[in-house]
């Protein structure tokens, strides 16, 4: 194993399950150090912490993305422990569904707080370390909901389109500092977030998808790993859609 100083530290929000867990697993397999948080420890998190009691490869903390002080403490601890932050993957997000005019204002606030404000604050803290280091890479997990209109997901779509806007402008600010910023916009994949979709809805999405199936978390995680890697060193400010052609 390479010494810590030679290894890239990937900060990942929401690495406990779903897509975040798949990204964390792939990063660990490829020799990255993973520092992640979520509100609760999943079986995956508990297993990684048992396998790595000294936190050489995997660090997890209980943080709510809406708690600014908690996010700040997390980033400070990661930077003190590992000395740098090489990549940031903004993955934590929640889906809030409902016809807009009948939604509770508190649900609108929560979705904006987690998906948009939570991402902006984590990025603010991490980008300061990347600027000092004069390099790094930021990936925002947005969604095809931020690109195509769909009834019932107005607020979620607004937050995801917001992330894509942030990607483009931040890429312009940070490009001269050697930092790349991109979005990965998945179509539907199986996770707790889409548990609400019934079989008929899944069949409809499959029918409309040229590649004929829903994505797996690994389809998306593979693209995230590519975007972190030096192979993507000339890509910035882009939204990479990974949806089997659903929106083409």
Please tell me the distance from the alpha carbon of residue 75 to that of residue 216, in angstroms, as a whole number: 30
| Interface map 166-205 toward ligand NAP (x if CB under 6 A) | --------------------x-xx-xxxx-----------
Q: Does 114 bind ligand NAP (CB under 6 A)?
A: yes
111 Cα distance to chain centroid? 15
The answer to whether residue 156 is catalytic is yes
Q: Does 125 bind ligand NAP (CB under 6 A)?
A: no
Per DSSP, the three-state class of 177 is: helix
Q: Does 20 bind ligand NAP (CB under 6 A)?
A: yes
One residue of 8, 10, 18, 88 binding ligand NAP per CB under 6 A: 18
Q: How far is the CB of 187 from ligand NAP (least distance, A)?
A: 6
Q: How far is the CB of 193 from ligand NAP (least distance, A)?
A: 3
CA distances from 49 to 24, 32, 45, 141 (A): 13, 16, 6, 25
Nearest residue relative to ligand NAP (C-beta): 18
Q: Does 92 bind ligand NAP (CB under 6 A)?
A: yes
**Binding residues with ligand NAP: total (CB under 6 A):** 27
Q: Strand pairing of 58-62 and 33-38?
A: parallel
| Interface map 29-68 toward ligand NAP (x if CB under 6 A) | ---------xxx----------------------xxxx--
CA proximity to 182, closest of 132, 245, 231: 231
Please identify, among the stretches 18-26, 46-54, 147-155, 201-209, the one whose residues bind ligand NAP according to the rule CB under 6 A: 18-26
Q: Does 244 bind ligand NAP (CB under 6 A)?
A: no
Please tell me the distance from the alpha carbon of residue 224 to that of residue 203, in angstroms, as a whole number: 26
Handedness of CA 238, 112, 114, 248 (dihedral sign): negative
Beta bridge partners of 137: 87, 180
CB burial of residue 170 (10 Å; 0-12, 13-18, 19+): buried
| Interface map 140-169 toward ligand NAP (x if CB under 6 A) | -x-x--------------------------
CA proximity to 154, closest of 104, 96, 110: 96
Catalytic residues: 156
Binding site for ligand NAP (CB under 6 A): 14, 16-20, 38-40, 63-66, 91-94, 114, 141, 143, 186, 188-189, 191-194
């Amino acid at each position: 194993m390479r010494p810590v100083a030679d290894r890239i530290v990937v900060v990942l929000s929401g690495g406990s399950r779903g897509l975040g867990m798949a990204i964390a697993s792939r990063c660990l397999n490829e020799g990255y150090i993973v520092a992640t948080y979520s509100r609760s420890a999943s079986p995956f998190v508990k297993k990684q912490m048992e396998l790595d009691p000294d936190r050489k490869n995997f660090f997890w903390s209980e943080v709510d993305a809406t708690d600014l002080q908690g996010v700040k403490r997390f980033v400070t601890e990661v930077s003190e422990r590992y000395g740098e932050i090489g990549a940031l993957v903004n993955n934590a997000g929640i889906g809030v569904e409902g016809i807009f005019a009948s939604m509770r204002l508190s649900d609108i606030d929560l979705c904006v707080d987690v998906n948009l404000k939570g991402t902006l604050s984590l990025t603010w803290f991490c980008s300061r370390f990347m600027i000092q280091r004069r390099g790094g890479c930021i990936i925002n997990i947005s969604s095809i909901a931020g690109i195509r209109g769909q009834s019932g997901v107005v607020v979620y779509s607004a937050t995801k389109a917001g992330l894509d806007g942030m990607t483009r402008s931040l890429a312009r600010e940070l490009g001269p500092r050697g930092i790349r910023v991109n979005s990965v916009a998945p179509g539907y994949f199986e996770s707790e977030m889409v548990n609400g979709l019934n079989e008929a809805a899944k069949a409809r999405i499959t029918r409309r998808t040229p590649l004929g199936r829903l994505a797996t978390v690994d389809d998306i995680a593979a693209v995230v790993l590519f975007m972190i890697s030096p192979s993507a060193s000339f890509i910035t400010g882009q939204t990479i859609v990974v949806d089997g052609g659903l929106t083409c």
